[in-house]
Amino acid sequence: MDNKIELKPIPEGKKELRDHRYFKNIILTSVGILVLVVISNLFLFTGGFKTFLFHQWAEEQYFGVITEIRDNGFNIADRGSNVRNIILNNETKIFQGRQIVAIDFLKLSDYVLVVGSINSKNQIEARIIRIFPPNKSRQW
């Protein structure tokens, strides 16, 4: 017995119809995925702004070396030798690595990243301070 399946050629009119449907399905699927992505991003951003998720990155960031330490803050100098006056308050968090540390951990010549806002006296009210480990290769 010969089990050969004979394939019949598709008539021209039906082949074009099949290609048209295939192309239409691809377009509709792509548009549907695009609409879903846009809608999900819209919900994520709207939710992020309503819950102040993006608020923590709205403040300025300052990087420098500590040049002076006072009771309520300290000064840092950046690469351009600009001196910034940093003010601490009860809500300021100081991190060394992943640990929250006390103000006593700040030392002269420490490299720090300060996140905060400038007040009317041109002082930076620190919200977050991150102490970086000493790096002997850092040259300012």
What does the pLDDT average to over 21-26?
83
- Pairwise CA distance, residues 67 & 108, whole Å: 6
28-84 pLDDT, tens per residue? 999 999 999 999 888 877 776 666 555 555 578 899 999 999 988 999 998 888 999
C-beta of residue 123 within 8 angstroms of C-beta of residue 87: yes
82-100 pLDDT, tens per residue? 999 999 999 999 999 889 9
Opening angle at CA 69, ends 91 and 96, nearest 5 = 55
- Pairwise CA distance, residues 25 & 38, whole Å: 20
The reply to whether the predicted model has a pTM over 0.85 is no
Q: b/e string for 35-68 if b means 16 or more Cβ within 10 A?
A: eeeeeeeeeeeeeeeeeeeeeeeebeebebbbee
Residue type, 86: I
